[in-house]
Amino acid sequence: MMRKVTFPHMGESYRTFKMLLNDLGNEVVLPPRPSRKTLNLGVQYAPEFACFPLKILMGTYLETIEKGANVLVTSGGVGPCRAGLYAELHKRILHDMGHPVEMIVFEPPRLYPLNFIRNVYKLNPKRLSIKSIIECIKRAWRKLQALDNAEKATHVVRPRELTPGTTTKTYKKVLEWIDAAYTMDEIIEAEKAALEEIYKIPQDPERLVLKVGIVGEIYVLLEPASNLEIEETLGNLGVEVERSMFLTGWTRDNTWKETVEGMTVKDAAMPYLPELIGGHGRDSIGNTVLYAKRNFDGVIQLAPFTCIPEIVAKTILTSVSRDYNIPVLTFFLDEQTGKAGMTTRLEAFVDLMKRKKLLRKTGKILRPASAL
Amino acid sequence: MKAYLGIDVGSVSTNIVVQDEAGTILAGLYLRTKGRPVETIQSGLKEIKQSLPGDIEICGVGTTGSGRYLAGVMVGADVIKNEITAHAVAATFFVPAVQTVFEIGGQDSKIIIIRNGVVTDFAMNTVCAAGTGSFLDQQAARLGIPIHEFGKLALQSTNPVRIAGRCTVFAESDMIHKQQMGHPLKDIINGLCEALVRNYLNNVGKGKEILPPVIFQGGVAANAGIKAAFERALGMEVQIPPHHDVIGAVGAALLAREEMALNNKTTNFKGFFISDLTYRTSSFECDGCPNSCEIAEIYEEDRVIGRWGARCPRWDIIQEEKN
């Protein structure tokens, strides 16, 4: 039987994984962007008490199996977060349903180097040499960086754009440029052109733009379809977002060199939470501290409903918010698709931050009803 | 006489007020939305028009609440604002020194922290309906007690029984258990009031610095039992502002007045005659992508005036809220 490989959908990263798996000689079934159909399938076949990412992935696997996929590549995980067991759970559910899929689970290579080598071998039907495999991974890595950099640029430009919607439109266009690039030179060139195109968008330099850091669980951070496109919504409300996690940053061996004052996220979280509690709970706390130190206007925490690490973090963020005088807003995400509740909270949050910022900048109190 | 119209379309109630230039309430209306916001807005406008003096000229309109966009396109709003901002504006108008606002409505409960007249923090209930007006409504109906009697009954209790407050399912089964054991109704209801307050303070009010003056508004503020339970739990006085039940609409009207004064423009208000127009709502499933968004539309006579529910701009015709 012909092997057809697929993997979870996480933002735009599928463009890279498609290229890498193709290079190694695999036929790839592209995972579709999570939609209502994905959700319906996921909710139907996943355990009710499981978190949102498990359900979306379940739906994605079923959609891709429908298109002929029989090899699923995903990540495992260490530590107490239950997501580390999801690959095994998915596999058993799919087998029970009569889909004899093969599951290839990548554990952190730093801790499980043999698992990594064995898995790469399984995904290398072309029998490329180690040297060529390394070359392919390097190129894929560069493409992933290019995609992340283009996304970061939209976060800066969107809140300043003169014509609403231009950034999103441009972003869609330049993604295709990066997608089409193949050699290292092409990727670098496409990235350069993409960034130029995004920064060329007419902007209003006078606008009062707020800066908000986004922290939380990795899947709901990286997949806009799972967080009701919160970054785009914030951009349209005049907020520049900085997300604490990108796929390239997360994969980069957990060394966070770029943070201010030489502090790592872990160090920043230490006074509040000295233990690893699984998932990204400690990162949420540490990143909030770092954003506060960098004088951000606010922080938004995104968490799947019932996510224990983020629930613990939310409780502790109350103290961080008080100690550093930075507003923090938490959203628990689940299968609800109604945006009204989120919009109301975001609008009020933006109102609050704007008033605070004006007060800090000009010493002027903008009373809610200043005309009274 | 110049006046401003404020409309708050909530999940349970729709409130309409008309205010004069000085902020005096000329007319106020509390209606049940009953799941039919369009009809409720129309009949509300008709009713409020009749109670107004003839020389009223509406110079600005504000809408708020979960139905603010719907109401906004129907009446031609000058400002469409979220209910947190609207509530904070109204609270500081009635009690300028206010530092803490509790607001419990039909579907939402929120806490707003105000310092020196500026909102510095807020929180809203996230995924749970425990501690909101809808649940009280439902229990009042189950017990066959009119909702406006509910709080008074709680005040007669001398020995509240303990009711679980974290989840409406737990609360209801606890209430039924206690009722079948023979506890008097007034004690069970008082227990429920205490449970809701406990849940509110632990969940919505978690970690917030609650300083006096504290004011309590929203539909549930009419419930004397809840107010008393708050005062017992906090050990401080809790004030109910005037017009507490229509306070969101008051805030919307104040915001409309501010908007008109700041920008010096003329109102978009279509007029009270819209209560005689035909509005029709419909919905369809978009076939543009696998997302299959459920799009809702509202027609005024034969013209589409609003569309919601899309996750992309394909169906946009409504202007976004201007900040």
Which residue numbers of B have CB closer than 8 Å to A's CBs? 23, 66, 81-85, 88-89, 92-93, 116-122, 124, 126-127, 206-207, 209, 254-255, 257-258, 261-262, 289-293, 311, 313, 320-321, 323
The confidence score (pLDDT) of residue A251 equals 60
Q: How does pLDDT run across B266-322, given as a tens digit for each residue?
A: 899 999 988 889 999 889 988 887 777 888 889 998 888 888 877 777 887 644 433
Q: B96-240, what's its fold?
A: Nucleotidyltransferase; domain 5 (3.30.420)
Decide if B2-87+247-276 and B96-240 have a common fold: yes
Domain A4-128 has CATH 3.40.50: yes
Q: Which of B83, B125, B311, B315 to mutate to test the interface with A (most CBs of A within 10 A)?
A: B311
Kindly state whether A288 is in contact with chain B, defined as any CB-CB distance less than 8 angstroms.
Answer: no
Q: How does pLDDT run across A120-139, given as a tens digit for each residue?
A: 989 998 889 999 999 999 99
| Lowest-confidence segment of A75-79, A90-94, B99-103, B242-246 by average pLDDT | A75-79
User: CATH second-level architecture of A208-372?
Assistant: 3-Layer(aba) Sandwich (3.40)
Mean pLDDT of chain B: 88
ipTM: 0.76
Please judge whether B126 and A366 are an interchain contact, meaning their C-beta atoms are less than 8 angstroms apart.
no
The confidence score (pLDDT) of residue B129 equals 61
Please judge whether B120 and A352 are an interchain contact, meaning their C-beta atoms are less than 8 angstroms apart.
yes
| Lowest-confidence segment of A75-79, B30-34, B113-117 by average pLDDT | A75-79
Q: Which of the two residues, B185 and A78, has the higher pLDDT score?
A: B185
Residue A140 CA to residue A81 CA, distance in Å, equals: 28
The confidence score (pLDDT) of residue B210 equals 93
Name every chain B residue with its beta carbon within 8 A of the beta carbon of A164. 320
Domain locations along chain B: 2-87+247-276, 96-240, 279-315
Q: How does pLDDT run across B137-170, given as a tens digit for each residue?
A: 888 888 888 888 888 999 999 888 998 877 778 8
Q: Which of A33, A36, A230, A315 to mutate to test the interface with B (most CBs of B within 10 A)?
A: A36
Which CATH class name applies to B2-87+247-276? Answer: alpha beta
